[in-house]
Every structure is written in structure tokens, then in C-alpha cells.
């Protein structure tokens, strides 16, 4: 799995990557600004146990405000509805 996340994954009983769903949170702009996503703290969901954990990535290449090109407020709302 992801070596920099493994420390917390046993707490949600995740043993196989096939059982995981990884989600990120989006920040939608109030105006015509850019949508950002938090790649530094993704949420890992165990689809078998229905437990989840927000992990902190140790990779310095990730940020909490990663710009998501081409995703506007309407696109993000549609993605949110599909995920529900």
C-alpha cells in the first residue's frame, strides 16, 4: 500500500488496498477562483469495515491547497453527488 500512510491504517482494519477508497476534500471558490483539494490529508475509507481515517501524507510534494485545474464549483458539486 502507501508506505507513508501505513502507520494509521491498522486502526481502520485495512489490510488490502482493494478494500480502500481514497477521498479528498475540495474547497470551492466563492467567486471565479480555482477549486483546490487537500492532497496532504486524504481520507482513507475501508469499504469492508466501514471505518475511515484522515491520514497525513509525509510526501512534501502534497499540499492542502492543491489547485485542481478544470474543476469548477458546478463540476465539484456534480462529483459530490455521484460519490454520495
C-alpha span between 18 and 9 (Å, rounded): 13
- Please write the tens of the pLDDT for every residue from 19-78: 889 898 888 777 777 888 888 888 989 999 999 988 887 777 778 888 877 666 566 556
Domain 9-71 carries which CATH code? 2.30.290.10
C-alpha span between 69 and 54 (Å, rounded): 24
Domain parsing of the chain, residue ranges: 9-71
Nearest to 56 by CA among 4, 3, 12: 4
> Looking at residue 1, what is its pLDDT?
41
Longest dimension (CA), the chain: 42
Bigger pLDDT: 52 vs 6 = 52
Cβ–Cβ < 8 Å for 19, 48 = yes
> Looking at residue 11, what is its pLDDT?
75
Amino acid at each position: 500500500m502507501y508506505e507513508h500512510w501505513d502507520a494509521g491504517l491498522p486502526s481502520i482494519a485495512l489490510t488490502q488496498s482493494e478494500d480502500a477508497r481514497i477521498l479528498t476534500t475540495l474547497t470551492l471558490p466563492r467567486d471565479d477562483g480555482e477549486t483546490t483539494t487537500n492532497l496532504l490529508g486524504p481520507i482513507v475509507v475501508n469499504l469492508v469495515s466501514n471505518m475511515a481515517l484522515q491520514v497525513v501524507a509525509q510526501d512534501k510534494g502534497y499540499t492542502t491547497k492543491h489547485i485542481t485545474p478544470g474543476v469548477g464549483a458546478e463540476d465539484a458539486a456534480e462529483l459530490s453527488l455521484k460519490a454520495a
